[in-house]
Structure 1
Amino acid sequence: MDSKAKRPLRVKVISMGNSEVGKSCIIKRYCEKRFVHKYLATIGIDYGVTKVKIKDRDVKVNIFDMAGHPIFYEVRNEFYKDTQGAILVYDCSSKESFEALDTWLNEMKREIGNPAEIENVVFCVCANKTDRQKRTVDEAEGRIWADTHGCYYFETSAQTGEGINEMFQTLFSTIVEACENGGKPPSISTSLGYTKEQAEAIQRLKNSKSDWERLGLYPGSSKDEINKAYRRLAVLLHPDKNVAPGSEEAFKILVSARTALLRGK
Protein backbone atom coordinates (compact mmCIF):
# COMPACT_ATOMS: atom_id res chain seq x y z
CA MET A 1 0.00 0.00 0.00
CA ASP A 2 1.43 3.41 -0.91
CA SER A 3 2.29 6.14 1.61
CA LYS A 4 -0.80 8.17 0.74
CA ALA A 5 -3.13 5.30 1.68
CA LYS A 6 -1.33 4.94 5.02
CA ARG A 7 -1.84 8.53 6.11
CA PRO A 8 -3.88 8.85 9.32
CA LEU A 9 -7.58 9.30 8.71
CA ARG A 10 -9.91 11.46 10.79
CA VAL A 11 -13.60 10.56 10.87
CA LYS A 12 -16.68 11.89 12.62
CA VAL A 13 -19.30 9.63 14.21
CA ILE A 14 -22.47 10.64 16.05
CA SER A 15 -24.80 8.60 18.26
CA MET A 16 -28.55 9.29 18.33
CA GLY A 17 -31.57 7.97 20.17
CA ASN A 18 -33.98 8.69 22.99
CA SER A 19 -32.80 9.37 26.52
CA GLU A 20 -31.78 6.33 28.57
CA VAL A 21 -31.43 3.90 25.66
CA GLY A 22 -27.74 3.39 26.50
CA LYS A 23 -25.91 5.48 23.89
CA SER A 24 -23.22 6.67 26.31
CA CYS A 25 -22.87 3.20 27.85
CA ILE A 26 -22.27 1.64 24.43
CA ILE A 27 -19.48 4.12 23.73
CA LYS A 28 -18.01 3.64 27.21
CA ARG A 29 -18.11 -0.14 26.82
CA TYR A 30 -16.20 0.05 23.53
CA CYS A 31 -13.66 2.71 24.48
CA GLU A 32 -12.98 1.68 28.08
CA LYS A 33 -14.06 -1.99 28.02
CA ARG A 34 -16.33 -1.52 31.02
CA PHE A 35 -19.96 -0.99 31.91
CA VAL A 36 -21.09 1.95 34.02
CA HIS A 37 -24.19 0.97 36.02
CA LYS A 38 -25.17 4.52 36.95
CA TYR A 39 -24.41 6.89 34.13
CA LEU A 40 -25.45 10.54 34.31
CA ALA A 41 -27.71 11.61 31.45
CA THR A 42 -25.85 13.42 28.67
CA ILE A 43 -26.33 17.18 28.75
CA GLY A 44 -26.23 18.66 25.26
CA ILE A 45 -23.32 16.85 23.64
CA ASP A 46 -20.68 14.52 25.03
CA TYR A 47 -17.46 14.29 23.06
CA GLY A 48 -14.81 11.60 22.91
CA VAL A 49 -11.90 10.45 20.78
CA THR A 50 -10.67 6.96 20.04
CA LYS A 51 -7.93 5.65 17.77
CA VAL A 52 -8.20 2.42 15.81
CA LYS A 53 -6.30 0.65 13.06
CA ILE A 54 -8.40 -0.40 10.07
CA LYS A 55 -6.92 -1.99 6.95
CA ASP A 56 -3.39 -0.88 7.95
CA ARG A 57 -4.61 2.70 8.38
CA ASP A 58 -4.49 4.66 11.60
CA VAL A 59 -7.95 6.14 12.16
CA LYS A 60 -8.78 8.86 14.66
CA VAL A 61 -12.50 8.79 15.44
CA ASN A 62 -14.27 11.82 16.90
CA ILE A 63 -17.47 10.61 18.57
CA PHE A 64 -20.28 13.04 19.36
CA ASP A 65 -22.85 11.58 21.75
CA MET A 66 -26.14 13.45 21.25
CA ALA A 67 -28.35 14.09 24.27
CA GLY A 68 -31.69 12.40 23.69
CA HIS A 69 -33.97 14.86 25.46
CA PRO A 70 -35.93 17.24 23.18
CA ILE A 71 -34.77 20.31 25.13
CA PHE A 72 -31.27 19.83 23.73
CA TYR A 73 -32.33 20.05 20.09
CA GLU A 74 -30.89 23.55 19.68
CA VAL A 75 -27.55 22.25 20.92
CA ARG A 76 -27.25 19.06 18.94
CA ASN A 77 -28.52 20.41 15.61
CA GLU A 78 -25.13 22.07 15.08
CA PHE A 79 -23.31 18.75 15.11
CA TYR A 80 -24.92 16.83 12.25
CA LYS A 81 -22.87 18.39 9.46
CA ASP A 82 -19.86 16.49 8.06
CA THR A 83 -20.90 13.24 9.74
CA GLN A 84 -19.47 10.07 8.21
CA GLY A 85 -20.99 7.53 10.57
CA ALA A 86 -24.14 7.47 12.70
CA ILE A 87 -25.24 5.07 15.43
CA LEU A 88 -29.00 4.91 15.97
CA VAL A 89 -29.79 3.33 19.33
CA TYR A 90 -33.04 2.09 20.84
CA ASP A 91 -33.88 0.09 23.94
CA CYS A 92 -35.35 -3.26 22.84
CA SER A 93 -37.53 -3.23 25.98
CA SER A 94 -39.00 0.17 25.01
CA LYS A 95 -41.33 0.28 22.02
CA GLU A 96 -41.40 4.06 22.24
CA SER A 97 -37.64 4.35 21.74
CA PHE A 98 -37.85 2.07 18.69
CA GLU A 99 -40.68 4.07 17.15
CA ALA A 100 -38.61 7.24 17.67
CA LEU A 101 -35.92 6.06 15.23
CA ASP A 102 -37.81 7.65 12.33
CA THR A 103 -37.88 10.97 14.19
CA TRP A 104 -34.13 10.87 14.81
CA LEU A 105 -33.34 9.97 11.23
CA ASN A 106 -35.62 12.72 9.93
CA GLU A 107 -34.02 15.26 12.28
CA MET A 108 -30.59 14.42 10.90
CA LYS A 109 -31.78 14.61 7.30
CA ARG A 110 -33.41 17.97 7.95
CA GLU A 111 -30.33 19.47 9.58
CA ILE A 112 -27.89 18.20 6.94
CA GLY A 113 -30.23 19.19 4.13
CA ASN A 114 -28.23 17.75 1.24
CA PRO A 115 -29.57 14.26 0.28
CA ALA A 116 -26.24 13.39 -1.36
CA GLU A 117 -24.44 13.97 1.94
CA ILE A 118 -26.93 11.75 3.78
CA GLU A 119 -26.30 8.95 1.26
CA ASN A 120 -22.62 9.02 2.19
CA VAL A 121 -23.27 8.44 5.90
CA VAL A 122 -22.76 4.90 7.22
CA PHE A 123 -25.64 4.04 9.57
CA CYS A 124 -25.68 1.34 12.26
CA VAL A 125 -28.80 0.50 14.27
CA CYS A 126 -28.30 -0.90 17.78
CA ALA A 127 -31.09 -2.84 19.46
CA ASN A 128 -29.61 -2.25 22.90
CA LYS A 129 -30.21 -3.80 26.35
CA THR A 130 -30.68 -7.32 24.98
CA ASP A 131 -29.68 -8.56 28.43
CA ARG A 132 -33.11 -7.53 29.73
CA GLN A 133 -35.71 -10.28 30.01
CA LYS A 134 -38.72 -8.22 29.01
CA ARG A 135 -38.43 -7.38 25.33
CA THR A 136 -41.09 -5.42 23.45
CA VAL A 137 -39.29 -5.09 20.10
CA ASP A 138 -38.03 -8.36 18.73
CA GLU A 139 -35.15 -8.95 16.36
CA ALA A 140 -37.28 -9.36 13.24
CA GLU A 141 -38.92 -5.95 13.66
CA GLY A 142 -35.61 -4.23 14.27
CA ARG A 143 -33.89 -5.89 11.33
CA ILE A 144 -36.69 -4.94 8.96
CA TRP A 145 -36.51 -1.29 10.01
CA ALA A 146 -32.74 -1.25 9.53
CA ASP A 147 -32.94 -3.00 6.17
CA THR A 148 -35.68 -0.66 4.92
CA HIS A 149 -33.58 2.39 5.81
CA GLY A 150 -30.25 1.10 4.52
CA CYS A 151 -28.65 0.56 7.93
CA TYR A 152 -26.51 -2.18 9.43
CA TYR A 153 -28.26 -3.90 12.36
CA PHE A 154 -26.78 -5.17 15.62
CA GLU A 155 -28.15 -6.70 18.80
CA THR A 156 -26.18 -5.08 21.62
CA SER A 157 -25.84 -4.98 25.37
CA ALA A 158 -23.58 -2.40 26.98
CA GLN A 159 -23.78 -4.46 30.17
CA THR A 160 -22.53 -7.77 28.75
CA GLY A 161 -20.65 -6.36 25.76
CA GLU A 162 -22.72 -8.32 23.26
CA GLY A 163 -22.38 -6.98 19.72
CA ILE A 164 -20.51 -3.80 20.71
CA ASN A 165 -17.11 -4.58 19.16
CA GLU A 166 -18.74 -6.05 16.05
CA MET A 167 -20.83 -2.92 15.55
CA PHE A 168 -17.93 -0.49 15.87
CA GLN A 169 -15.67 -2.67 13.73
CA THR A 170 -18.26 -2.74 10.96
CA LEU A 171 -18.90 1.01 11.28
CA PHE A 172 -15.23 2.01 11.16
CA SER A 173 -14.28 -0.46 8.41
CA THR A 174 -17.16 0.71 6.21
CA ILE A 175 -16.27 4.37 6.74
CA VAL A 176 -12.65 3.68 5.75
CA GLU A 177 -13.86 1.80 2.67
CA ALA A 178 -16.09 4.76 1.81
CA CYS A 179 -13.21 7.22 2.20
CA GLU A 180 -11.10 5.13 -0.15
CA ASN A 181 -14.01 5.13 -2.60
CA GLY A 182 -14.44 8.88 -2.86
CA GLY A 183 -16.78 9.07 0.14
CA LYS A 184 -19.38 6.62 -1.17
CA PRO A 185 -20.16 3.72 1.20
CA PRO A 186 -20.65 0.24 -0.27
CA SER A 187 -24.20 -0.97 -0.76
CA ILE A 188 -25.61 -2.99 2.12
CA SER A 189 -26.65 -6.42 0.93
CA THR A 190 -29.55 -7.72 2.97
CA SER A 191 -29.35 -11.21 4.41
CA LEU A 192 -32.84 -11.19 5.88
CA GLY A 193 -34.24 -13.96 3.74
CA TYR A 194 -37.81 -13.04 4.71
CA THR A 195 -40.36 -10.42 3.80
CA LYS A 196 -41.95 -7.60 5.74
CA GLU A 197 -45.30 -9.42 5.46
CA GLN A 198 -43.83 -12.52 7.09
CA ALA A 199 -42.31 -10.52 9.94
CA GLU A 200 -45.53 -8.59 10.53
CA ALA A 201 -47.49 -11.86 10.66
CA ILE A 202 -45.13 -13.13 13.37
CA GLN A 203 -45.63 -9.92 15.34
CA ARG A 204 -49.42 -10.17 15.15
CA LEU A 205 -49.48 -13.80 16.25
CA LYS A 206 -47.25 -13.06 19.23
CA ASN A 207 -48.92 -9.80 20.31
CA SER A 208 -52.62 -10.48 19.71
CA LYS A 209 -54.84 -10.87 22.74
CA SER A 210 -57.35 -13.40 21.33
CA ASP A 211 -57.39 -16.33 18.90
CA TRP A 212 -59.80 -14.44 16.63
CA GLU A 213 -57.36 -11.55 16.45
CA ARG A 214 -54.46 -13.91 15.81
CA LEU A 215 -56.17 -15.23 12.66
CA GLY A 216 -57.38 -11.77 11.66
CA LEU A 217 -61.05 -12.75 12.01
CA TYR A 218 -64.16 -11.37 13.66
CA PRO A 219 -65.65 -13.42 16.53
CA GLY A 220 -68.22 -15.86 15.20
CA SER A 221 -66.52 -16.41 11.82
CA SER A 222 -67.40 -19.73 10.18
CA LYS A 223 -65.36 -22.91 10.15
CA ASP A 224 -64.47 -22.33 6.49
CA GLU A 225 -63.28 -18.80 7.26
CA ILE A 226 -61.14 -20.11 10.11
CA ASN A 227 -59.51 -22.73 7.88
CA LYS A 228 -59.01 -20.25 5.06
CA ALA A 229 -57.30 -17.75 7.38
CA TYR A 230 -55.19 -20.53 8.84
CA ARG A 231 -54.00 -21.73 5.43
CA ARG A 232 -53.06 -18.21 4.35
CA LEU A 233 -51.01 -17.63 7.48
CA ALA A 234 -49.52 -21.12 7.46
CA VAL A 235 -47.95 -20.39 4.07
CA LEU A 236 -46.35 -17.25 5.50
CA LEU A 237 -45.26 -18.70 8.82
CA HIS A 238 -44.20 -22.30 8.29
CA PRO A 239 -40.59 -22.56 9.54
CA ASP A 240 -39.59 -24.40 6.35
CA LYS A 241 -40.48 -21.29 4.34
CA ASN A 242 -39.94 -18.50 6.87
CA VAL A 243 -36.50 -17.96 8.38
CA ALA A 244 -37.49 -14.82 10.31
CA PRO A 245 -36.70 -14.91 14.04
CA GLY A 246 -39.72 -16.22 15.94
CA SER A 247 -41.34 -18.03 13.00
CA GLU A 248 -41.35 -21.42 14.74
CA GLU A 249 -42.99 -20.02 17.88
CA ALA A 250 -45.52 -18.06 15.80
CA PHE A 251 -46.46 -21.15 13.79
CA LYS A 252 -47.16 -23.08 17.00
CA ILE A 253 -49.35 -20.21 18.22
CA LEU A 254 -51.21 -20.28 14.89
CA VAL A 255 -51.89 -24.02 15.11
CA SER A 256 -53.07 -23.67 18.70
CA ALA A 257 -55.38 -20.76 17.82
CA ARG A 258 -56.98 -22.67 14.93
CA THR A 259 -57.48 -25.76 17.09
CA ALA A 260 -59.12 -23.72 19.87
CA LEU A 261 -61.47 -21.92 17.48
CA LEU A 262 -62.54 -25.08 15.67
CA ARG A 263 -63.14 -26.80 18.98
CA GLY A 264 -65.75 -24.19 19.74
CA LYS A 265 -67.65 -24.92 16.49
Structure 2
Amino acid sequence: VQMETTVPKRRDKKSLRVKVISLGNAEVGKSCIIKRYCEKRFVPKYLATIGIDYGVTKVQVRDREIKVNIFDMAGHPFFYEVRNEFYKDSQGVLLVYDVGVRESFEALDSWLGEMKQEMGSQANMDSIVFIVCANKVDLTKRRVVDEGEGRLWAESRGFHYFETSAQSGEGINEMFQAFFSSITDMCENGGKRPVSEVSVGFTKEQADTIRRIRNSKDSWDMLGVKPGLWIVSQMTILIKSFINLFP
Protein backbone atom coordinates (compact mmCIF):
# COMPACT_ATOMS: atom_id res chain seq x y z
CA VAL A 1 0.00 0.00 0.00
CA GLN A 2 1.46 3.30 -1.02
CA MET A 3 1.22 5.94 1.68
CA GLU A 4 0.67 9.55 0.65
CA THR A 5 2.61 12.04 2.69
CA THR A 6 1.23 15.51 3.04
CA VAL A 7 3.74 18.25 3.81
CA PRO A 8 2.12 21.12 5.69
CA LYS A 9 2.33 24.36 3.76
CA ARG A 10 4.06 27.29 5.41
CA ARG A 11 1.51 29.88 6.36
CA ASP A 12 2.41 33.44 5.65
CA LYS A 13 1.41 35.98 8.24
CA LYS A 14 -1.87 37.75 7.67
CA SER A 15 -1.57 40.75 5.36
CA LEU A 16 -1.69 44.19 6.92
CA ARG A 17 -3.67 47.17 5.72
CA VAL A 18 -2.11 50.47 6.76
CA LYS A 19 -2.79 54.14 6.22
CA VAL A 20 -0.01 56.68 5.62
CA ILE A 21 -0.23 60.40 4.94
CA SER A 22 2.18 62.99 3.55
CA LEU A 23 2.59 66.40 5.17
CA GLY A 24 4.57 69.49 4.27
CA ASN A 25 4.35 72.88 2.60
CA ALA A 26 3.22 73.24 -0.99
CA GLU A 27 5.88 72.57 -3.64
CA VAL A 28 8.26 70.56 -1.43
CA GLY A 29 7.78 67.49 -3.64
CA LYS A 30 5.41 65.23 -1.66
CA SER A 31 3.51 64.02 -4.73
CA CYS A 32 6.72 63.61 -6.74
CA ILE A 33 8.25 61.42 -4.03
CA ILE A 34 5.20 59.16 -3.99
CA LYS A 35 5.07 58.95 -7.81
CA ARG A 36 8.78 58.20 -7.98
CA TYR A 37 8.33 55.23 -5.63
CA CYS A 38 5.01 53.87 -6.90
CA GLU A 39 5.32 54.64 -10.62
CA LYS A 40 9.13 54.82 -10.99
CA ARG A 41 8.91 58.17 -12.74
CA PHE A 42 9.48 61.87 -12.11
CA VAL A 43 6.97 64.56 -13.06
CA PRO A 44 8.97 67.75 -13.79
CA LYS A 45 5.96 70.04 -14.15
CA TYR A 46 4.51 71.25 -10.86
CA LEU A 47 0.88 70.25 -10.43
CA ALA A 48 -0.65 71.43 -7.17
CA THR A 49 -2.52 68.79 -5.18
CA ILE A 50 -6.16 69.78 -4.86
CA GLY A 51 -7.29 68.72 -1.41
CA ILE A 52 -6.20 65.08 -1.22
CA ASP A 53 -4.68 62.61 -3.66
CA TYR A 54 -5.28 58.95 -2.87
CA GLY A 55 -3.51 55.82 -3.99
CA VAL A 56 -3.01 52.18 -3.03
CA THR A 57 0.11 50.06 -3.33
CA LYS A 58 1.19 46.61 -2.13
CA VAL A 59 4.60 45.91 -0.66
CA GLN A 60 6.28 42.86 0.84
CA VAL A 61 7.94 43.28 4.22
CA ARG A 62 9.76 40.10 5.21
CA ASP A 63 7.04 37.41 5.01
CA ARG A 64 4.14 39.80 5.13
CA GLU A 65 2.10 41.55 2.47
CA ILE A 66 1.34 45.18 3.30
CA LYS A 67 -1.53 46.98 1.60
CA VAL A 68 -0.68 50.65 1.86
CA ASN A 69 -3.33 53.36 1.50
CA ILE A 70 -1.54 56.62 0.74
CA PHE A 71 -3.21 59.98 1.35
CA ASP A 72 -1.17 62.78 -0.21
CA MET A 73 -2.25 65.96 1.59
CA ALA A 74 -2.31 69.35 -0.13
CA GLY A 75 0.14 71.72 1.54
CA HIS A 76 -1.74 74.99 0.96
CA PRO A 77 -3.47 76.45 4.07
CA PHE A 78 -6.66 76.78 2.01
CA PHE A 79 -7.17 73.01 2.23
CA TYR A 80 -7.02 72.74 6.03
CA GLU A 81 -10.71 71.89 6.28
CA VAL A 82 -10.15 69.00 3.89
CA ARG A 83 -6.95 67.76 5.54
CA ASN A 84 -8.29 67.62 9.07
CA GLU A 85 -10.63 64.77 8.15
CA PHE A 86 -7.75 62.46 7.21
CA TYR A 87 -5.33 62.55 10.16
CA LYS A 88 -7.07 59.96 12.31
CA ASP A 89 -6.23 56.25 12.04
CA SER A 90 -2.88 56.92 10.36
CA GLN A 91 -0.02 54.52 11.06
CA GLY A 92 2.64 56.48 9.20
CA VAL A 93 3.44 60.10 8.37
CA LEU A 94 5.86 61.34 5.73
CA LEU A 95 7.03 64.83 6.77
CA VAL A 96 8.62 66.52 3.76
CA TYR A 97 10.59 69.74 3.36
CA ASP A 98 12.66 71.29 0.58
CA VAL A 99 16.34 71.62 1.59
CA GLY A 100 16.51 74.78 -0.55
CA VAL A 101 13.63 76.56 1.25
CA ARG A 102 14.25 77.16 4.96
CA GLU A 103 10.64 78.21 5.50
CA SER A 104 9.48 74.69 4.55
CA PHE A 105 11.84 73.20 7.15
CA GLU A 106 10.75 75.61 9.89
CA ALA A 107 7.11 74.82 9.06
CA LEU A 108 7.51 71.19 10.20
CA ASP A 109 6.67 72.20 13.78
CA SER A 110 3.43 73.77 12.55
CA TRP A 111 2.51 70.63 10.65
CA LEU A 112 3.07 68.54 13.77
CA GLY A 113 0.99 71.05 15.74
CA GLU A 114 -1.88 70.82 13.28
CA MET A 115 -1.78 67.04 13.42
CA LYS A 116 -1.67 66.92 17.24
CA GLN A 117 -4.67 69.22 17.35
CA GLU A 118 -6.68 66.86 15.17
CA MET A 119 -5.41 63.61 16.74
CA GLY A 120 -6.51 64.63 20.21
CA SER A 121 -3.80 63.10 22.42
CA GLN A 122 -0.09 62.32 22.63
CA ALA A 123 -0.96 58.63 22.96
CA ASN A 124 -2.34 58.70 19.43
CA MET A 125 0.84 60.36 18.15
CA ASP A 126 2.96 57.66 19.81
CA SER A 127 1.21 55.05 17.66
CA ILE A 128 2.51 56.57 14.43
CA VAL A 129 5.80 56.12 12.55
CA PHE A 130 7.25 59.44 11.38
CA ILE A 131 9.76 59.81 8.55
CA VAL A 132 11.36 63.20 7.95
CA CYS A 133 12.22 63.56 4.29
CA ALA A 134 14.78 66.21 3.29
CA ASN A 135 13.91 66.47 -0.40
CA LYS A 136 15.56 67.98 -3.50
CA VAL A 137 19.11 67.20 -2.36
CA ASP A 138 20.14 67.02 -6.03
CA LEU A 139 19.93 70.82 -6.19
CA THR A 140 23.11 71.28 -4.16
CA LYS A 141 23.79 74.92 -5.07
CA ARG A 142 20.51 76.17 -3.60
CA ARG A 143 20.65 74.13 -0.41
CA VAL A 144 20.20 76.19 2.79
CA VAL A 145 19.29 73.50 5.37
CA ASP A 146 22.23 71.17 5.95
CA GLU A 147 21.98 67.50 6.83
CA GLY A 148 23.11 67.99 10.41
CA GLU A 149 20.33 70.44 11.19
CA GLY A 150 17.63 68.33 9.58
CA ARG A 151 18.80 65.11 11.18
CA LEU A 152 19.03 66.77 14.59
CA TRP A 153 15.44 68.03 14.35
CA ALA A 154 14.16 64.60 13.35
CA GLU A 155 16.10 62.31 15.66
CA SER A 156 15.60 64.51 18.73
CA ARG A 157 11.89 63.74 18.30
CA GLY A 158 12.41 60.03 17.70
CA PHE A 159 11.71 60.33 13.95
CA HIS A 160 13.59 58.70 11.08
CA TYR A 161 15.52 61.00 8.74
CA PHE A 162 16.29 60.50 5.05
CA GLU A 163 17.75 62.68 2.31
CA THR A 164 15.97 62.24 -1.01
CA SER A 165 15.61 63.48 -4.54
CA ALA A 166 12.39 62.71 -6.38
CA GLN A 167 14.10 63.78 -9.60
CA SER A 168 17.11 61.45 -9.44
CA GLY A 169 15.50 58.81 -7.22
CA GLU A 170 18.22 59.13 -4.59
CA GLY A 171 17.17 57.72 -1.22
CA ILE A 172 13.56 57.08 -2.26
CA ASN A 173 13.50 53.27 -2.14
CA GLU A 174 15.59 53.13 1.03
CA MET A 175 13.31 55.62 2.73
CA PHE A 176 10.09 53.79 1.88
CA GLN A 177 11.57 50.40 2.79
CA ALA A 178 12.51 51.71 6.24
CA PHE A 179 9.10 53.40 6.51
CA PHE A 180 7.05 50.29 5.80
CA SER A 181 9.36 48.06 7.84
CA SER A 182 8.97 50.31 10.87
CA ILE A 183 5.18 50.40 10.47
CA THR A 184 5.14 46.59 10.34
CA ASP A 185 7.28 46.40 13.48
CA MET A 186 4.93 48.82 15.21
CA CYS A 187 1.84 46.79 14.27
CA GLU A 188 3.52 43.63 15.55
CA ASN A 189 4.41 45.50 18.74
CA GLY A 190 0.78 46.08 19.67
CA GLY A 191 0.43 49.38 17.87
CA LYS A 192 3.24 51.17 19.70
CA ARG A 193 6.51 52.37 18.22
CA PRO A 194 9.41 50.27 19.60
CA VAL A 195 11.27 52.45 22.09
CA SER A 196 14.72 51.72 20.65
CA GLU A 197 13.65 52.17 17.04
CA VAL A 198 15.41 55.51 16.54
CA SER A 199 18.63 56.39 18.32
CA VAL A 200 18.11 59.75 19.99
CA GLY A 201 21.27 61.62 20.94
CA PHE A 202 19.58 64.79 22.19
CA THR A 203 16.37 65.86 23.87
CA LYS A 204 14.09 68.27 22.00
CA GLU A 205 15.23 71.11 24.29
CA GLN A 206 18.90 70.39 23.65
CA ALA A 207 18.28 70.17 19.90
CA ASP A 208 16.45 73.51 19.90
CA THR A 209 19.35 75.10 21.79
CA ILE A 210 21.89 73.76 19.29
CA ARG A 211 19.77 75.02 16.39
CA ARG A 212 19.58 78.48 18.00
CA ILE A 213 23.36 78.55 18.48
CA ARG A 214 24.00 77.47 14.90
CA ASN A 215 21.69 80.16 13.54
CA SER A 216 22.85 82.97 15.85
CA LYS A 217 24.17 86.19 14.31
CA ASP A 218 26.91 86.92 16.86
CA SER A 219 28.33 85.88 20.23
CA TRP A 220 25.64 87.71 22.21
CA ASP A 221 22.82 86.16 20.22
CA MET A 222 24.51 82.76 20.58
CA LEU A 223 24.21 82.94 24.35
CA GLY A 224 20.86 84.69 24.41
CA VAL A 225 22.20 87.65 26.44
CA LYS A 226 22.66 91.40 25.93
CA PRO A 227 26.08 92.87 25.04
CA GLY A 228 28.27 93.85 27.98
CA LEU A 229 29.20 90.59 29.67
CA TRP A 230 32.95 89.92 29.59
CA ILE A 231 32.46 86.16 29.81
CA VAL A 232 30.90 85.94 26.36
CA SER A 233 34.13 85.51 24.41
CA GLN A 234 35.27 82.59 26.56
CA MET A 235 31.85 80.96 26.50
CA THR A 236 31.69 81.36 22.73
CA ILE A 237 34.92 79.41 22.31
CA LEU A 238 33.58 76.60 24.47
CA ILE A 239 30.25 76.49 22.66
CA LYS A 240 31.85 76.48 19.22
CA SER A 241 34.11 73.63 20.29
CA PHE A 242 31.01 71.71 21.41
CA ILE A 243 29.11 72.37 18.17
CA ASN A 244 32.08 71.19 16.08
CA LEU A 245 31.70 67.77 17.66
CA PHE A 246 28.39 67.38 15.80
CA PRO A 247 28.91 68.30 12.12
Question: Which of the five TM-score ranges fits, normalised by the shorter chain?
Answer: 0.7 to 0.9
Deviation at 1:199, TM superposition (A): 5.6
Aligned to 2:52: 45
C-alpha distance in 2 between matches for 1:169 and 1:202: 32
Deviation at 1:137, TM superposition (A): 1.3
Aligned to 1:161: 169
**Which of the residues 129, 146, 150 maps onto 1:142?**
150
| Preserved contact between residue 154 and residue 167 of structure 1 (Cα < 8 Å) | yes
Amino acid at match of 2:157: H
| Preserved contact between residue 212 and residue 222 of structure 2 (Cα < 8 Å) | no
Q: Alpha-carbon deviations, 1:180-205, whole Å to 9, x = none?
A: 1111111233265896355654444x
Deviation at 1:71, TM superposition (A): 0.7
* Secondary structure at 2:198 match in 1: coil
Compute the TM-score of the two structures, normalised by the length of structure 1.
Answer: 0.78
Aligned to 1:232: 238
Unaligned runs of 5+ in 1: 246-265
Aligned to 2:191: 183
Aligned to 1:263: none
Aligned to 2:39: 32
Please give the residue correspondences for 1:50-65 in structure 2 after superposition, counting only pairs within 5 Å. Answer: 50-65=57-72
* Secondary structure at 1:39 match in 2: coil
How many residues were matched structurally? 234
**TM-align CA RMSD:** 2.7
Aligned to 1:174: 182
50 and 199 in structure 1: CA distance in 2 versus 1, 3 angstrom threshold? same
| Structure with higher helix content | 1
| Preserved contact between residue 11 and residue 60 of structure 1 (Cα < 8 Å) | yes
Deviation at 1:129, TM superposition (A): 0.8
Please give the residue correspondences for 1:112-261 in structure 2 after superposition, counting only pairs within 5 Å. Answer: 112-132=119-139, 133-187=141-195, 188-190=197-199, 196=207, 200-204=212-216, 208=217, 228-229=234-235, 231-238=237-244, 242=245, 244-245=246-247
Amino acid at match of 2:49: T
Aligned to 1:105: 112
C-alpha distance in 1 between matches for 2:124 and 2:221: 44
Q: Alpha-carbon deviations, 1:91-124, whole Å to 9, x = none?
A: 1111111111111111111111132221100000
C-alpha distance in 2 between matches for 1:41 and 1:69: 9
Unaligned runs of 5+ in 2: 1-8
| Preserved contact between residue 198 and residue 236 of structure 1 (Cα < 8 Å) | no
C-alpha distance in 1 between matches for 2:75 and 2:220: 40
| Preserved contact between residue 19 and residue 41 of structure 1 (Cα < 8 Å) | yes
227 and 54 in structure 1: CA distance in 2 versus 1, 3 angstrom threshold? same
C-alpha distance in 1 between matches for 2:243 and 2:109: 28
Deviation at 1:228, TM superposition (A): 2.5
**Which of the residues 9, 24, 29 maps onto 1:17?**
24
> What percentage of residue pairs aligned between the two structures are identical?
58
| Preserved contact between residue 216 and residue 229 of structure 1 (Cα < 8 Å) | no
Q: Alpha-carbon deviations, 1:62-111, whole Å to 9, x = none?
A: 00000000111111111111000000001111111111111111111111
